[in-house]
Amino acid sequence: MATLREVKKRIRTVISTQRITRAMEMVAAAKLRRAQQRIEQARPYAQKMDEMLSHLAAGSTGEIIHPYFEQREIKKRTLVVVTSDRGFCGSFNSNIIRRTGQWLGENDTVEQEFVTIGKKGNDFFKRRPTPITRYWGDWGGTLDYDRAKEIVSFLTNRFVSGETDQISIVYTRFVSMARYKVIMQDYLPIPPPEIPEDPNAGEQMATEYIFEPDAEQIYAALMPGYATTKMVTALADSFASEHGSRMIAMNAATTNAGDMIQSLTLDYNKARQAQITKELLEVVSGAEALKG
């Protein structure tokens, strides 16, 4: 049985750990609120971009001509893996890594490569045979628009130059404070926009657009912003999910630390009572010996 000093030392250690986990939970909650605001700002813009692209597709005649739409034989696939830089966020990173492993198995007939965003994913996959073409880390759980544009520029240049034939992103989409979903999303080539339909008649919308100067130049101006919006939205979702997962994980750790403190306190009281009983027995035994 542990001595009183050992039990007391363990109690102090768990109390210190509980303070740390509580502080980390509060920090994650504060960062989550800011990340939610970014999502609320990014998602409507992304939806409008999709809507605009669909309307332009409905009003244009002939095939949409832009390098981002180019469908070609897939000889090489690129996967952008978005994880966190830090741990203590439950199953956030392991879910992404597991889904990435499934992607590797599904696409083992073609050449594969990774682009990693976040230290945890990079540390895991750099010891695996699939090569990592580029790595971006040290985000601190905060969206950096300049770095997001740098990622978009690297990916689009790689696709347009023919160094890769398809690019996908795996990330965690923020649904609610307690719910997150791992998403595998095609990034390039962009699938042809869906032509909107009239929900009542079920026929294609008859809206006609006059393109000035022409559709090709409009798409050339629009598509870089569209690609950036897709990346920014994915990163914003991932960071919000990271903070939410960390908040839940630290809340569970704080609760477990409280339960452990109660259990150790009970053990301490039992050990202390046993020691007091032993000392009383020694005193009574000594007194009886003196009488005899």
Cα of first residue to Cα of last residue in the chain, in angstroms, is 34
Which 8-state DSSP code applies to residue 254? H
Buried-state track 224-260, b at ≥16 Cβ within 10 A, e below 16: eebbbbbbbbbbbbbbbbbbbbbbbbbbebbeebeeb
**CA 71: distance to chain centroid?**
29
The CA dihedral of 18, 22, 25, 30, to the nearest 10 degrees, is: -160
- d(C-alpha 122, C-alpha 137), whole Å: 8
Question: How open is the CA angle 105-106-110, to the nearest 5 degrees?
Answer: 90
125, HSE (Cβ side, Cα atoms, 13 Å): 31
For residue 244, what are its two tokens? 């939410």
- Enzyme catalytic residues: 89
Radius of gyration of the chain from its Cα atoms, rounded to whole angstroms = 29
- d(C-alpha 260, C-alpha 161), whole Å: 58
Total residue length of the chain = 292
**Do 196 and 55 contact (CB within 8 A), yes or no?**
yes
Q: Tokens 């609610």 sit at which residue? A: 176
Q: Tokens 């409905």 sit at which residue? A: 58
